[in-house]
Amino acid sequence: MALNALLKRVWIGLAVALIGSLAAAAFPDLIQRDDTGRIRLGAPAPSPSASAPTPESTSPPLPRDAVDEAIQTAIGAAGLDPAQGRPLGPTGADSDRTGWTAVRERTSAVSEMNAICADLERQGWTPNPNGDRPDLSRSYRRGSWSLLVSTRGKTLAPSTTSALTDSQTYLTVVGFRLNLSDIPLPEITVRLG
């Protein structure tokens, strides 16, 4: 019985060490291992002699009005009049959400979505293919902003909007800002042995 308990502790210790080593290799900025065998999660503790941290990027953050302009430009490049749709999200330059939506014919919505996406890429927005469905939605990222371009049918339409016919769908561009550096990671210390 004592041998089984000892083997169990050894296996658990090896598993924790392996997981910690793999995590430290995958996320070197978030996981540190010191000389005593302790693993720390979260930002490294500042040393007393450390100077102020340097910013990640020298370019200024992308403001909301620049995102609005990118959306309007892409909509215009698709041959659509931005004034024919309606804006999404609250007004104000400090808002973290923006967007545009319009009722479109299903037969033209996918080609219009493709034209919007092509112009966003031309403007420097980076495609994020994870979870995209080419005929329904595509997502993009630039700085701390993400954009989702989609066509959605009647079943997903908000109930407060006018009813769509069977030949219509919504063409939507939604932008939102998510700054993960504002979310603090908890500090967790694990001691092996």
Q: What is the pLDDT of residues 60-102, one digit of tens each?
A: 778 888 999 999 999 999 999 998 888 887 776 667 889 999 9
Same-domain pairing of 68 and 39: no
* Sequence letter at residue 138: R
Same-domain pairing of 32 and 71: no
Same-domain pairing of 17 and 69: no
Return mean pLDDT, the chain.
76
Question: How far apart are the C-alpha atoms of 131 and 109, rounded to whole Å?
Answer: 20
Alpha-carbon distances, residue 53 vs 18, 56, 77, 129 (angstroms): 31, 9, 41, 33
- Residue 188 included in any domain: no
Same-domain pairing of 16 and 78: no
Same-domain pairing of 170 and 106: yes
Query: Left (φ > 0), alpha (ψ -120 to 50) or beta: where does 127 sit?
Result: beta
Same-domain pairing of 15 and 90: no
Two structure tokens written together for 74: 């892409």
Please give the residue range of the domain that contains residue 31. 2-43
- Residue 115 included in any domain: yes
Q: Which of 7-11, 24-28, 101-105, 168-172 has the lowest mean pLDDT?
A: 24-28
Measure the CA angle with vertex 83, ends 144 and 67; round to 5°: 10
- Residue 49 included in any domain: no
Same-domain pairing of 72 and 103: yes
- Residue 192 included in any domain: no
- Residue 189 included in any domain: no
pLDDT digits (tens, 9 = 90+) for 21-45: 666 555 555 666 666 666 666 555 5
- Please give the tally of structural domains in the chain: 2
Same-domain pairing of 111 and 141: yes
Helix (H, G, I), strand (E, B) or coil at 189: strand
